[in-house]
């Protein structure tokens, strides 16, 4: 059974940093593209970033480009999202996502809440 378990969320002041982690199990992690998707309170889903299976390529939504960095450690079956220069509008539940082809999100984690507030 595929399991994705996010951690590292919490409250942070504007301008601060936070690193999210996602522990993956139940599948061959190193073979899959992985993404982060977020959802602000009461709002819709917003794709944040994606990383290739090897870790050799990554892409970002315009709203986070230059502030967030996605990475992975295939030896530890872990996905990361380093978030810097956080803003109030980054407040959201962040989901770790396992992808299939054509950007299909086959599996979702339960989410980790990040709150940016002074």
Partner 1 sequence: SYVLIQPPSVSVAPGKTARITCGGDNTGSKSVHWYQQKPGQAPVLVIYYTTDRPSGIPERFSGSNSGNTATLTISRVEAGDEADYYCQVWDSSRDHRVFGGGTKLTVL
In angstroms, what is the minimal distance from the CB of 86 to partner 1? 21
Contacting range for partner 1; rule: CB under 8 A; set: 7-15, 21-29, 39-47, 71-79: 39-47
2 is an interface residue for partner 1 by CB under 8 A: no
DSSP 15: T
Nearest CB to partner 1, comparing residues 9 and 109: 109
Minimum CB separation of residue 109 from partner 1 in Å reads 7
Residue 44 as a binder of partner 1 (CB under 8 A): the answer is yes
From residue 81, alpha-carbon distances to 1, 42, 49, 69, 72 in Å are 24, 22, 9, 6, 9
Give the DSSP letter string of 48-111.
EEEE-TTSS-EEE-TTTTTTEEEEEETTTTEEEEEE-S--GGG-EEEEEEEE-GGG-EEEE---
Binds partner 1 by CB under 8 A, chosen from 5, 45, 53, 113: 45
Select 15 or 68, whichever has its Cβ closest to partner 1: 68
Rounded CA-CA distance 87/117 in Å is 8
Q: Which residues bind partner 1 (CB under 8 A)?
A: 35, 37, 44-47, 50, 57, 59, 61-62, 95, 100, 102-106, 108-111
């Amino acid at each position: 059974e595929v399991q994705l378990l996010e951690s590292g969320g919490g409250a942070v002041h504007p301008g601060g940093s936070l690193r999210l982690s996602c522990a993956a199990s139940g599948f061959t992690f190193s073979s899959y593209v992985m993404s982060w998707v977020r959802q602000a309170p009461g709002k819709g889903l917003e794709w944040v970033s994606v990383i290739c299976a090897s870790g050799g390529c990554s892409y970002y939504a315009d709203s986070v480009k230059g502030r967030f960095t996605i990475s992975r450690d295939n030896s530890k079956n872990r996905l990361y999202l380093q978030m810097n220069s956080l803003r109030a509008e980054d407040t959201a539940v962040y989901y770790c996502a396992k992808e299939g082809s054509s950007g299909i999100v086959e599996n979702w984690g339960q989410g980790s809440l990040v709150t940016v507030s002074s």
